[in-house]
Structure 1
Amino acid sequence: MAAVDTAVPSDVDEALAEFQGQLTLIFARARSLWKESAARMHPELQPSGYRLLGFIARAGSANAHQLAESFEMDKSVVSRQVRMLEDLGLLESRPDDTDGRQRVLTATPEASEALGELRADHANRMREALAALTPQEIQSASKVFRLLAEI
């Protein structure tokens, strides 16, 4: 088996470097979009609170343990964000019927409506940005992201 010369980058290495650079830009854009979306929902809402609220709304409900696990956040950080979301009138909390130690968190109707409007706006932006791609190209991109999500 021949040794690979690592001093000269291969086409794959160059393509991966370009791909990583583009991912960095996408992550930066996502953080910017979360910040913009949070401000549109409420001027005091932080991007991390917006992300938690979006998760809860998509799931229908959640508890603080699920949020901490899903977002790999400390429970105290989740607790502060949940409290802020409740104070802003975006989140409701009630005792869990099966485990009184847990609280079931749900988005308020107003928050759900605002999130729906933001999602529609984001979907329109995505549709415009990807308009030049075929459905097969979009499916290929989805496959790449799915593979990356598994590492």
Structure 2
Amino acid sequence: MSDEEALVAVEREVALMFRRGRARVAELSRRVHPGLEGMAYSMLGYIEQAGRVRVTDVGVHFAVGKATVSRQIRALEELGLVARETDPLDRRAALVSLTEEGRRRYLAARDVRMGRVREMIGGWVAEDVVRFGELLRRFNDVLGEAPAE
């Protein structure tokens, strides 16, 4: 296989992974709550990992505008999944964190997702799983640095 053919194969597989990933994230969002949009599950995961995070930082992390992140956070807040508070260091900014109900629902959906990951690659040799994780992290680092086209 030539270098060009290898790159085409990688691009094809990454595109397929992204399409399937969007569908799975939408499914997981609905598992958390039937009224949630696809991005909501990922936002909950980011907020869960961060603990308390500025709303603007959520937008930066997902590379979405202020209006989009505000709408998503407002929907999560209305469903009782996140709580918003004024940032004590900058009273103009807001911090969000998961509520107990939000954490419970997110973790239950994440457990389902992790079960699927175990089913998919649980039979792999441990070294392959570690290497796959390293390669994905490396790819995501480059992806995060790449200019949008």
TM-score (normalised: structure 2): 0.88
Percent identity among equivalent residues?
28
**Other-structure match for 1:70:** 61
What is the letter of the counterpart of residue 60 of structure 2?
Answer: E
Q: CA 1:45–1:145 in 2, change beyond 3 Å: closer, same or farther? A: same
CA distance in 2, matches of 1:43, 1:143: 34
Q: How does 1:2-151 map to 2 (within 5 A)?
A: 10-151=1-142
CA distance in 1, matches of 2:39, 2:105: 16
CA distance in 1, matches of 2:141, 2:30: 31
Give, in angstroms, the shift of residue 143 of structure 1: 2.1
CA distance in 2, matches of 1:144, 1:11: 21
What do you get for the CA RMSD once the two structures are aligned?
1.4
Verify the 8 A CA contact 2:43 2:58 in the aligned structure 1: yes
Give, in angstroms, the shift of residue 47 of structure 1: 1.1
What is the letter of the counterpart of residue 17 of structure 2?
Answer: I
- The alignment partner of 1:105 has SS state of strand
More strand by share: 2
Q: Provide structure 1 residue ranges, at least 5 long, that are not aligned to the other structure.
A: 1-9
Deviations 1:21-51 (A, max 9, x none): 1111111111011110111111111112222
CA distance in 1, matches of 2:49, 2:64: 19
Q: CA 1:46–1:150 in 2, change beyond 3 Å: closer, same or farther? A: same
Give, in angstroms, the shift of residue 113 of structure 1: 0.7
Runs (4+) of structure 1 exceeding 6 A deviation are none
| Structure possessing the higher radius of gyration over alpha carbons | 1
CA distance in 2, matches of 1:123, 1:144: 19
Give, in angstroms, the shift of residue 19 of structure 1: 2.0
CA distance in 2, matches of 1:41, 1:132: 28
- The alignment partner of 1:56 has SS state of helix
